[in-house]
Structure 1
């Protein structure tokens, strides 16, 4: 089959790899019909290469049609249309019972000290082949795959794999009071959907912060107050003026480890890329530094007694944190990988109805063949051609 494989920094290639096969009675094989490119994929494309090997198959936002199931998979069958969560979780361990599927004890990558295995995402999370491919082996398929109805296009449902539950969790963790305010830093796919979910769930004021005009304009179409990161007045002052001088009740950081405006962190990440892979991996695990401009601005911006929710991925181990400010402002901080299956019952009615309240059908700015994936990665990373969300079609 054809699949998108990693070969180095900014070097991904469509190659022929072996077809996946059933290995465990809880496996399934799906024929992928659509797979998204995630902002987290760009971390592999840029700064996390020390944890991935040449030839590894990328992608963790797939959906498709079931081709084959193992003996213990009974809730789906060949021919069913399904979305596959990026978490690989069993559904019956202690952590899954708590709604913490991203910490599943059955698939935890214990030798790396990490949580549940993920599709297409490095040795730290199990090095499981991903879904930017023609076919995908789905472990723990007795629980993970989400059946969806025939009829509506893939773009109505594919975001159940990651974007929608990640945004829903980010808004839930932000603890926005009824009729309250939230600022969302970063208007990529997750940030855009955070804004829409926050409005859907009752936030009175949603402020979106970015520096890309197309992203700011798209957010504004959905009732979001856009704030350009490059405004002369300064982001923090601008947002305070919009929120009675206090700052918003909640802030969602949807940027993560590669934020603009963090020159020291960027230099550290770039220098790590020149080290031998084993050394670079150890450095990142023990002394990694994130580009923290978005998080530091979030801490400065949120009102006293407010909440910050992190959905952007961070991986640093020696990141400096302004503990005095966090303590003095009495800030609550929540974060973590999305627990996909925890939120599906809340979200599924919104994408199966007729009104599409979250705007999923026109969310993708680009839909390209799998063969064009290398160019699509470059376009997405460089924010070219108005790229906000890119879907691949095998």
Structure 2
């Protein structure tokens, strides 16, 4: 089959690789009909996530048709399913609490020492996202093996096009959980750093949860326009002192809740961010958390900090004194996707949530390297890339 593979920093290629096979009784094989490039994939593309190996198949946002099942899978051939990016067994201690991204059984034992050393404990496995998260082949391919297929995938009713539900795989539940972790109350003012896909869904979710005002922060005009279209007020950090603006907009109190949807690759010519970039380039540091620092300092006393943005390693100059002295609550984590799928699918079917507005580019899988380049280099105009494996066959 054809699949997008990682070969180093800014080097991804569509190669011919072996077809996946059923390995365990709960496996299923999915023929991919749609897959997407995620902002988290750019961390791999930029070389920030360790334990990648040449030839690894990328992609953790995908859906498709069931073509083969193991004897203990609950799926049936021909069903259309969206697959969560989190691989979870459904029966361990954490899964029993619906903390699927903490699953104890999905991450292979031979990779656990890496995550144990870096994070203290091992999280769940993830599709297409390095060997410390399991080393599982991803879904930017023609086919993929789905472990624990009786737990993860959600069956999509006939008549719903892929693009309305594809983002159930990751960014929609991630944005929803980000807003949920902010403990939003009626009348709250919520500030969201980053108007990429997760940030936009966090904005949409916060408003659905009853936020009175949402303030979106970014520097790309098109992304800010999308945020404004959802009902957010917008601030361009290249044109505005964000702290001063937020204090003015909230009567000197600060936002009730802040959401960092940026993660480890903050942009901007700020002193702390420049130092972070130098440290990362000289292997003296890993993450660049300027947006997180700014969000913590701006949040009101007694407020809530939600962090859906991906962080992979160690950060310094962290304003923990601000968290303690102001009595802030901090919630974060990989998304417990399976927990949210039924409710979010219902919301899509009832037209309460739109997921298609952010798609800017549709490409054949064969053009995926160009999709990565464009998503990386043209972030003002390129908000989301959807890849279609079948387009090559249709064209031929």
For Structure 1 versus Structure 2, the TM-score category normalised by the shorter chain is: over 0.9
Q: Does structure 1 conserve the Cα–Cα contact (< 8 Å) formed by 2:297 and 2:319?
A: no
Q: Secondary structure at the match of 2:192?
A: strand
Question: For each residue in 1:291-326, what CA deviation from the matched residue of structure 2 results, as whole angstroms up to 9, or x when unmatched?
Answer: 111001001111111000000011222533222221
1:362 equivalent to 2:357? Answer: yes
Matches within 5 A, 1:264-343: 264-272=275-283, 288-343=285-340
Q: CA deviation at 1:92?
A: 1.3
- TM-score norm. by structure 1 comes to 0.93
Q: Does structure 1 conserve the Cα–Cα contact (< 8 Å) formed by 2:299 and 2:305?
A: yes
Cα distance in 2 for residues equivalent to 1:111 and 1:135: 29
Identify the residue that residue 40 of structure 1 maps to in structure 2.
40
Identify the residue that residue 388 of structure 2 maps to in structure 1.
393
Cα distance in 2 for residues equivalent to 1:320 and 1:95: 32
Cα distance in 2 for residues equivalent to 1:157 and 1:26: 24
Cα distance in 1 for residues equivalent to 2:245 and 2:34: 39
Matches within 5 A, 1:211-290: 211-232=219-240, 234-261=241-268, 262-272=273-283, 288-290=285-287
Question: For each residue in 1:94-150, what CA deviation from the matched residue of structure 2 results, as whole angstroms up to 9, or x when unmatched?
Answer: 100111100111114532322010000001101100000000000111111110112
Q: Measured at CA, do residues 49 and 294 of structure 1 come closer, stay the same or move farther in structure 2, by a change above 3 Å?
A: closer
Question: For each residue in 1:232-257, what CA deviation from the matched residue of structure 2 results, as whole angstroms up to 9, or x when unmatched?
Answer: 4x011112211121111000000000
Matches within 5 A, 1:7-18: 7-18=7-18
Q: Secondary structure at the match of 1:8?
A: coil
Q: Secondary structure at the match of 2:86?
A: coil
Q: CA deviation at 1:362?
A: 2.7
Q: Secondary structure at the match of 1:351?
A: helix
Question: For each residue in 1:193-241, what CA deviation from the matched residue of structure 2 results, as whole angstroms up to 9, or x when unmatched?
Answer: 1001111111110111000000000111111101111124x01111221
Cα distance in 1 for residues equivalent to 2:187 and 2:124: 35
Q: Which runs of 5+ in 1 are unaligned?
A: 273-286
Q: Does structure 2 conserve the Cα–Cα contact (< 8 Å) formed by 1:289 and 1:316?
A: yes
Q: Does structure 2 conserve the Cα–Cα contact (< 8 Å) formed by 1:8 and 1:49?
A: no
Cα distance in 2 for residues equivalent to 1:211 and 1:386: 12
Q: Does structure 1 conserve the Cα–Cα contact (< 8 Å) formed by 2:220 and 2:379?
A: no
Q: CA deviation at 1:49?
A: 5.5
Bigger shift: residues 48-57 or 219-228:
48-57
Cα distance in 1 for residues equivalent to 2:281 and 2:365: 29
Cα distance in 1 for residues equivalent to 2:380 and 2:16: 29
Matches within 5 A, 1:25-64: 25-48=25-48, 50-64=50-64
Identify the residue that residue 372 of structure 1 maps to in structure 2.
367
Q: Does structure 2 conserve the Cα–Cα contact (< 8 Å) formed by 1:255 and 1:313?
A: yes
Q: Does structure 1 conserve the Cα–Cα contact (< 8 Å) formed by 2:348 and 2:354?
A: no
Identify the residue that residue 119 of structure 2 maps to in structure 1.
none
1:105 equivalent to 2:101? Answer: no
Identify the residue that residue 164 of structure 2 maps to in structure 1.
156
Question: For each residue in 1:75-110, what CA deviation from the matched residue of structure 2 results, as whole angstroms up to 9, or x when unmatched?
Answer: x10100000000000111110011110011111453
Cα distance in 2 for residues equivalent to 1:133 and 1:271: 34
1:382 equivalent to 2:377? Answer: yes
Identify the residue that residue 87 of structure 2 maps to in structure 1.
88
Q: Does structure 1 conserve the Cα–Cα contact (< 8 Å) formed by 2:170 and 2:337?
A: yes
Say how many residue pairs are matched: 376
Q: Does structure 2 conserve the Cα–Cα contact (< 8 Å) formed by 1:83 and 1:160?
A: yes
Cα distance in 2 for residues equivalent to 1:149 and 1:213: 36
Cα distance in 2 for residues equivalent to 1:70 and 1:8: 34
Q: Secondary structure at the match of 2:305?
A: strand
Q: Secondary structure at the match of 2:63?
A: strand
Q: Does structure 2 conserve the Cα–Cα contact (< 8 Å) formed by 1:88 and 1:140?
A: yes
- TM-score norm. by structure 2 comes to 0.92
Q: Could you say what the CA RMSD is over the residues aligned between the two structures, in angstroms?
A: 1.3
